[in-house]
Amino acid sequence: MTDSSISPLVDAPWLKSRLDSPGIVVLDVRTPPAGGFVPGSLHSDYATAGWRTVVGGGAGMLPEPDVLAGLIGGLGVGNGDHVVLVAAGANASDMGNATRVYWTFKMLGHDAVSVLDGGFAAWTAAGGPVEPQPAVRKPATFTVHPRADLRATLEQVEAAVQAGGTPLHDARSPEQFAGKAKSPQARAAGTIPGAVNLDIAALFSPAEHRFASPEAVKAMADQAGLPLRDQPITFCNTGHLASVSWFALSEIAGVPGVRLYDGSMSEWSADPQRPLQTEG
């Protein structure tokens, strides 16, 4: 389903006014859910339902399209539905539950998808009604039309490092970027050579229940020294945090050609022959 009028972000009042609209499907992807649910919403646990998988050295890879088609169709979501994704809204990393699933829908060719800005926290703060249990729908047929332009493969990242010129964005903390700390998913500390760091924490305000504005996102990228041209590649450890920066750059700020490297540091660092950059 393609509709250029569908916004990447919707707010709580928008959703509240459309809860009973045909074709609007609210998909809660919290891990775990707490405090109830947006009325009529489906629930699919981001961590356990199968939205990400292990492939080779990559810990958070995109599953095969037919596997995702079964997952989505099994929830009762069809190609004619406008999916609104709900995370908890606790912080930028938490919003990654919604932005990573959003990217997944886009990768499958389903453009009728939005993220509830501020997540469930924004919903309750706005006085939205809550139900104790999620809804269940009859299974539907979900047909995928995979695309490759939103994703960076290992081979493409290797080529980008060798050639130079492609902006590489490390979405992790400054400590991990500098090689002073390491995620368990990465074999070794450090970052991909040539990358610049923009910590995703600044891209979302938990207190205000909202993502940064397009102008603020562009200003942060400029301050970090991240060029917004030449198909930037964003990465983290497992493609989770990077989905937040991909969403902010591509969908909020409208930067063309932004790609998410879902293999990220878990895949990149798995081979000791691949170079790593550290400070000092």
Alpha carbon 265 to chain centroid, angstroms: 16
Give the angle subtended at the CA of 29 by the CAs of 206 and 33, to the nearest 5°.
Answer: 75
Distances from the Cα of 231 to the Cα of 36, 122, 149, 172, angstroms: 40, 32, 10, 19
Q: Three-state DSSP class for 50?
A: coil
Q: How far, CA to CA in Å, does 23 sit from each of 1, 84, 112, 195, 243?
A: 11, 10, 10, 41, 26
Instruction: Classify domain 9-125 by CATH number.
Output: 3.40.250.10
| CA–CA distance, 133 with 54 (Å, rounded to integer) | 30
Residues 154-268: name the CATH superfamily. Answer: Rhodanese-like domain (3.40.250.10)
Domain ranges of the chain: 9-125, 154-268
Of 7, 208, 31, the closest CA to residue 121 belongs to 208
Task: Tell me the two tokens of residue 50.
Answer: 């199968």
User: H helices within the chain, ranges in order?
Assistant: 12-16, 65-74, 92-107, 119-125, 154-163, 174-178, 214-224, 241-246, 264-268
Per-residue pLDDT in tens (0 to 9) along the chain, 280 residues = 445 589 999 999 999 999 999 999 999 999 999 999 999 999 999 999 999 999 988 899 999 999 999 999 999 999 999 999 999 999 999 999 999 999 999 999 999 999 999 999 999 999 999 999 999 999 999 999 999 999 999 999 999 999 999 999 999 999 999 999 999 999 999 999 999 999 999 999 999 999 999 999 999 999 999 999 999 999 999 999 999 999 999 999 999 999 999 999 999 999 999 999 998 6
Handedness of CA 121, 125, 126, 130 (dihedral sign): positive
